[in-house]
Amino acid sequence: MIERIPFGATGHLSSRTLFGAAALGRMRQERANAVLETLLEFGVNHIDTAAGYGDSELRIAPWMKTHREDFFLATKTGDRDGPGARESLERSLTRLGVERVDLIQLHNLVEPEEQKEALGPGGALEALVAAKDAGLVRFIGVTGHGTFAPARHLESLRQFPFDSVLAPCNFAMLAQPEYAKDFEDLYATCRERGIAFQTIKSVARRRWSEADEGPRHSWYHPIRDGVALRRAVHFVLARPGVFLNTSSDTTLLRPTLEAAAELPADPSDAAMDDDVRRLGIEPLFVRGVSDAV
């Protein structure tokens, strides 16, 4: 079973591996049910979906009829204005078939102008705080992709005490000095304030190239080598207090959960460097080159 630790200061003990429900976005219900059964097998009790993840919320809804109390349920809104964010949240509640979600997150809030709108008067945050007061949501978080995500989250935290953050974390990303500094600053702030720190892209290998063949179940080329995948998972979970969101590629769900169920052994830099060379691992996001999804 996967270890459970406090999800920030929320009072909830979440499995250190969270289910990234983007994986359900294009699935039929029967397949989604089988995937969700896997979560119970490994003790995963935290589901992270979003309004923009296709039919993900609809695939989760039948599960919530019998398992609502078994999961911390999180979703996201990409809207920056207040009315849009409130409408997005209410639509998610309807699609999920629940009266309340545990966590609503401002999705990928990394552009300065969008941040200004979302956190300003009449913005998304104001509407979500009102929704929290109305009992529609328990906690509010912020997520981000790209190399600027940690720095933008720090700015967001200066303006509002968010309950959680989310940012990319893997060996290749943290090998970039600029990104690593911002990431460590955010990590230290979250540890100090009791803010839940979620990570994504743990098993990312690189972006797809035109020469790559075979099915593409996620927007990036994942690590499929079993030993390297295990090391990638342990690289993230060896850091105290962080959570790992699983990939949208469900073929990687079981090996990821199997690795997460082990006591994480912090892999050596030499071993990780060897995986980088052997598999051609590259950072998904490079400042000034490829910062978008």
Mean pLDDT of the chain: 96
Question: Can you give the three-state secondary structure of 162-196, one letter per residue?
Answer: CCEEEEECCHHHHCCHHHHHHHHHHHHHHHHHCCE
- The C-alpha R_g of the chain, in whole angstroms, comes to 18
List, for residues 132-164, the tens digit of each pLDDT value: 999 999 999 999 999 999 999 999 999 999 999
Report the distance separating Cα 75 and Cα 49, nearest Å. Answer: 5
Q: Return the pLDDT at 186.
A: 98
Hey, which residues does 73 pair with through a beta bridge? 47
Domain covering 4-279 in this structure, CATH number: 3.20.20.100
Q: Return the pLDDT at 273.
A: 97
- Predicted model pTM: 0.96
Q: Return the pLDDT at 76.
A: 98
Q: 176-197 burial, b if ≥16 CB within 10 A, otherwise e?
A: beebeebbeebbebbeeeebbb
Q: What confidence category does residue 30 fall into, taking pLDDT thresholds of 50, 70 and 90?
A: very high
Report the distance separating Cα 182 and Cα 209, nearest Å. Answer: 29
HSE, CB side, 13 Å, CA atoms: give it for residue 32.
21
Q: Pick the residue with more confidence: 291 or 72?
A: 72
- Domain range annotation of the chain: 4-279
Report the distance separating Cα 157 and Cα 191, nearest Å. Answer: 13
160 and 123 in contact (C-beta within 8 Å)? Answer: no
